[in-house]
Amino acid sequence: MDVLTDALAAMRVGQTRSARTEVHAPWGLRFPRVGGTTFHVLLRGQCWLLPPAGEAVEMAAGDVTLLRHGSSVSLADDPTTPLQDFRPAAWRPGQTIGRVDVEGPGERSLLICGAYQLGRTRPHPLLAELPELLLLRASETPGLAATVALLGEELEQARPGQDGVVPALVDAMLLLILRGWIERSTRDHAALGWPGALTDPAIATALTNLHDDPGHAWTVAELGDRAGLSRSAFAQRFTTLVGEPPLTYLTWWRMTTAGRLLRESDAPLSAVAQQVGYSSEFAFAKAFKREFGIAPGRYRRTTGAGEAA
């Protein structure tokens, strides 16, 4: 997988939950702070985004809002409309798409609102650079806008395969949202941080190498050579954009990968150790405990999918 896809896959700890939300003016919905990275997509009609602080912002069909920490936010047909709490219908076992309907005499709007369940304990540094509230306009993100349009079509009527198509589109949106943020960050200038790292040819090459084969005995010199830079120039550029030296990030990624393997597979500890670059189970266990504060065997027994943020 590419670095962005790989990073998100390592953070997933549960199913995305969302609700098809059909409203008729006058309407106003207050969304409480929840666990997860929340999103609100206007599929049809119009609405106003009412953040906890700052002025109301008008949204158009195709616009997407992402809240990194699931902060409280409100949506309404007009900034002056009274608000009511957002309450999706009771979830059925295994259900990922709920439904909310608000009746009224006025104009109809259709939204989908929900939360991506991403790991709380080891968030990828990429996400730490996201603003708390990100608003992407349909006009600036054609790929995301096309996905949103298809999602709107699927939710307008019951069609065969809908229960498989809608969750897949909702999950794909997160990658497209992050891509849109990265492209916005690098559109007019050379971006620093992770948007810059993922679009800088040399550093993106190095990150791809580290993610593709975390078990390899990488050196800064080898990574620099593959990126077409001297050792010192590569180390400086990597540290500037990623925020830490290459081998420090490699260690972090190895342990993150090990944690995912322990949660999601029954591979022996020796196999996990080898896959992330440790020749002995003892050395791996020592490094893992230093990073997580718990032995890998105990981590496997105690971790589950409920650590979302």
pLDDT at 128: 86
Considering 144, 163, 187, which residue would you say is the last residue of a domain? 187
Q: Is residue 81 part of a domain?
A: yes
List Cβ neighbours of 187 (8 Å cut-off, separation of 6 or more): none
Mind listing the pLDDT tens digit of every residue in the chain (309 residues)? Answer: 699 999 998 888 888 889 999 999 999 999 999 888 999 999 999 999 999 888 999 999 999 999 999 999 999 999 999 999 998 766 666 667 788 889 999 999 999 999 999 887 788 999 888 999 999 999 999 999 999 999 999 998 888 888 899 999 999 999 999 999 999 998 867 678 999 999 999 999 999 999 999 999 999 999 999 999 999 999 999 999 999 999 999 999 999 999 999 988 999 999 999 999 999 999 999 999 999 999 999 999 887 543 443
Specify the pLDDT at position 308.
42
Clarify whether residues 150 and 129 are in a common domain.
yes
**pLDDT at site 306:** 39
Has residue 194 been placed in a domain? Answer: no
Residues in contact with 292: Cβ distance below 8 Å, sequence separation at least 6, in sequence order: 255, 259, 299
Residue 94's pLDDT is what?
Answer: 62
Looking at the structure of the chain, the number of domains it has is 2
**182 and 220 within one domain:** no
Of 157, 187, 217, which residue sits at a domain end?
187
Find the radius of gyration of the CA atoms of the chain: 22
174 and 28 within one domain: yes
Q: Which of 160, 187, 214 is the last residue of a domain?
A: 187
**Is 166 found in the same domain as 65?**
yes
150 domain-assigned? yes
Quick one: tokens of 177?
A: 């949202």
* pTM, to two decimals: 0.89
Q: Which domain holds residue 237?
A: 200-302
- Residues 230, 89, single domain; the answer is no
Q: What is the CATH number of the domain that holds 263?
A: 1.10.10.60
Residues 228, 165 share a domain: no
Mark whether 138 and 263 lie in a shared domain.
no
Q: Could you tell me the strand order of the sheet in which 97-102 lies? A: 97-102, 17-24, 108-116, 37-44, 64-67, 133-136
Same domain, 181 and 205: no
> Which of 223, 69, 66 is CA-nearest to residue 148?
66
Indicate whether 10 and 48 sit together in one domain. yes
Residues in the chain: 309
Tell me the CA distances in angstroms from 296 to 75, 166, 299, 300, one per residue in order: 44, 36, 5, 6
Say if residues 35 and 115 touch (Cβ distance below 8 Å). yes
Whether residues 87 and 223 fall in one domain: no
Q: From 120, 68, 86, select the one nearest 18 (Cα to Cα).
A: 86
CATH number of the domain within which 53 lies:
2.60.120.10
What is the C-alpha to C-alpha distance for residues 47 and 28, in angstroms, rounded to an integer? 9
Same domain, 147 and 7: yes
In a domain, 213, yes or no: yes
pLDDT score recorded for residue 90: 63
Query: Concatenated DSSP letters for the chain?
Result: --HHHHHHHHHB-S--EEEEEEEESS-EEEEPP-SSEEEEEEEESEEEEE-SSS--EEEETT-EEEETT---EEEESSTTSPPEE--PPPPPTT--EEEEEE--SS-EEEEEEEEE-BBSSS--HHHHTS-SEEEE-GGG-HHHHHHHHHHHHHHHS--TTHHHHHHHHHHHHHHHHHHHHHHHHHHSS---HHHHHHHSHHHHHHHHHHHH-TTS---HHHHHHHHTS-HHHHHHHHHHHHSS-HHHHHHHHHHHHHHHHHHH----HHHHHHHTT-SSHHHHHHHHHHHHSS-HHHHHHH--S--B-
Q: How many CA atoms lie within 13 A of 198 on its CB side?
A: 22
Q: Is residue 307 part of a domain?
A: no
231-242 helix and 246-264 helix, angle to the nearest 10 degrees: 60
Paired strand residues for 58: 48
Cα–Cα distance, 305 to 183 (Å, whole number): 31
Instruction: Say yes or no: 249 and 288 in one domain.
Output: yes
Query: Is 226 part of any domain?
Result: yes
The verdict on residue 28 lying in a domain is yes
- Has residue 309 been placed in a domain? no
pLDDT for 152 equals 93
pLDDT at 307: 44
